[in-house]
Amino acid sequence: MMNSLSNSLAAADIAHSLHPYTNARAHERNGPLIITRGQGVHVYDSEGREYIEGLAGLWSVAVGFSEPRLAEAAARQMAELPYYHTFAGKAHEPQIRLAEKLVEMTPEALTRVFFTNSGSEANDTVVKLVWFMNNALGRPQKKKFLSRIKGYHGITIASGSLTGLPVNHKGFDLPAIPVVHLGCPHHWRFGAEGESEAEFCARLLREAEETILAEGPETVAAFIGEPVMGAGGVIVPPDGYWSGIEALCRKYDILLVSDEVINGFGRTGARWGCEKFGFTPDILVTSKQLTSSYMPLAAVLMTDKVYQTIADHTETLGTLGHGFTGSGHPVATAVGLENLTVIEERDLMGNAARLERPFQDGLRAFRDNPLVGEVRGTGLIAAIEMVADRATKRSFEPLGKVGARAAAFAAEEGLLCRALGDTLALCPPLIVTEADVGRILERMGRALDRTADWARAEGLI
C-alpha cells in the first residue's frame, strides 16, 4: 500500500504531468513509479523498494547513482560560475577543458567540438551543419540524409525525421526533412529464408548503393547510424556492414555520421562503437554517458575538413547562426569533465569489456525459455526478443503487450529494464560488478519464467 506522501505525489503527477513515451490515459489509470533516490547500480521508489537499474536510467548513468565526485564538481562550479554562454566568442574553462578532453578521447581525425544540451539537439545540429557546409561548397542540392529503419537519432523535427521508428513519426507529420530510410541490419529478423549473414550483409550494401544511385549521389549529403542500434532493439550489425557503408560513403562523397549517444565511452566493450566496428566517421555525436546524465549535455565532434568549410562560411556570412543558451554550460561541462575522469581512473570502459562474456553468455542461457526468440548484444548492452512462435519468429499481436508484462514482472523481481515492443533491453551502469551481473541474470530469469507462465495462461503460447 502506498504511503500518504506517495499517494499525494502520484495524484499531483496524474493531475499535472504529460510524460514522454507514455500512454497518457493509461498513466491516469495506473499512476507513476516514483523514484526517490539512487545509490550505485540501485534506485529506490517512494515505498522503499530497491531495484537494480538495468538500463542505467536511459542507457546513460555510467558511474552509477549518487557519485559524490560529480555532485562536488557541480557544487564547485555553481559557486564559482553557475552560468555563462559561449556565443560571440565567449568561453570558460570547463567548456574549454572538456572539448580538449573529448578530442583526446575520440578517434584521431575528430578535432572540433560543438556542445548542445541533448542528443536530439546534437543530431539536429548535425543536419544544420551539413546543410550549411554544402551551401558553402556551392552544392545546395546535396541535402538528403540516409538513415535506417529502426535507427534512433532523437525526437526534434530534424532528428525525429532521421529516426526510423513509426512511433516517432505517427501523429507528428514526420519525416519533415529529406531523409531516406535504408533496411535495418538485423539478420535474425530481416534475413531472407536460407540467406546467410554474409549474404544478408551484401544485399543490404547493394540496396544502399542502389538507393544512392536512384536518389542521385549529388543530392545525398550524409549517412547517419548508431554503430549498435539502441532504442530500435539493440541490433548488432553483421560483420562487414560498417566497412561496406564507409566504402560507399567515400565512393560517393557522402559524410559518415556515427551516432554514439548510447554507444560511446565503452558501452559496446570498446571505447567507441565506430572503433568496435572499424570505421572512421566524419562526424561523431555523444551524450548520455558523457555526464552519466547527471547534467544535460551532448557534443558534436567533426573532422578538420568539415570544420574548415564551416569556418570559412562563417567568415563569409559574418557568424554561425546556430546555438543554444546552454551550449557548453559551465556546470554541465564541469560535471562531464569529472565524469570522464572517474571513467578513466576506475577503468570503467575496461570493466565493460571484462564483463562482456559473463553478461552476454548469461543472457544467452535464456534462449531455452519458450518465449525467447533471440538474445543479442555486445559489451554491456543487450536485448531479449520474445516471440509467439520461435520456429517462425512470429511476433505477438498486439505488439508490446507481452513486453510490458515482462518488464512489470522484472520490476516486481527488483530489476528495471525497458520494453521495446516485445523486446527487453538491458544496459546496466558501467560500474557493475560480476556479482551485480549475477543478480541481474537471476532476476531476469525469474521474470521470464513468470512471463512464460502468464503467456500460457492467456493462451498466447
Domain 69-345 fold is Aspartate Aminotransferase; domain 2 (3.40.640)
The predicted structure's pLDDT at residue 2: 62
* Amino acid letter for position 367: R
Q: Which residues pair with 258 in a beta bridge?
A: 225, 284
Separation CA 21–CA 59 (nearest Å): 15
Q: Are 136 and 214 in contact (CB under 8 A)?
A: no
Helix and strand numbers, DSSP H then E, in the chain? 16, 15
* pTM, full prediction: 0.96
Mind listing the pLDDT tens digit for each residue in 257-274? 999 999 999 999 999 999
- The closest alpha carbon to 273, from 312, 229, 306, 308, belongs to 229
- List helix spans (H) across 84-156: 93-105, 119-136
Dihedrals φ, ψ of 174, to 5°? -110, 150
Fill in the amino acid letter for 57.
G
Count other C-beta atoms under 10 Å from residue 138's C-beta: 7
Q: How far is Cα 337 from Cα 347, in angstroms, rounded to an integer?
A: 15
DSSP 329-393: -HHHHHHHHHHHHHHHHTTHHHHHHHHHHHHHHHHHGGGGSTTEEEEEEETTEEEEEE-SBTTTT
Reading the block at residue 149, the C-alpha cell is 529503419
Predicted pLDDT at 100: 98
* Owner of C-alpha cell 559551465: 330
Give residue 266's pLDDT.
97
- Taking 70 as the pLDDT cut, the residues of the chain under it are 1-2
Residues facing residue 374 across a β-bridge: 385
Question: Can you name the residues that pair with 170 across neighbouring β-strands?
Answer: none
- State which amino acid sits at residue 95: Q
The pLDDT value given to residue 440:
98
Ranges of each domain in the chain: 33-63+347-457, 69-345
First to last CA, the chain: 33
In terms of residues, how long is the chain?
Answer: 461
Write out pLDDT tens, residues 183-240: 999 999 999 999 999 999 999 999 999 999 999 999 999 999 999 999 999 999 999 9
Torsion on CA atoms 407, 412, 415, 416, rounded to nearest 10: 50
CATH superfamily of 33-63+347-457: Aspartate Aminotransferase, domain 1 (3.90.1150.10)
Strands 372-378 and 418-420: unpaired
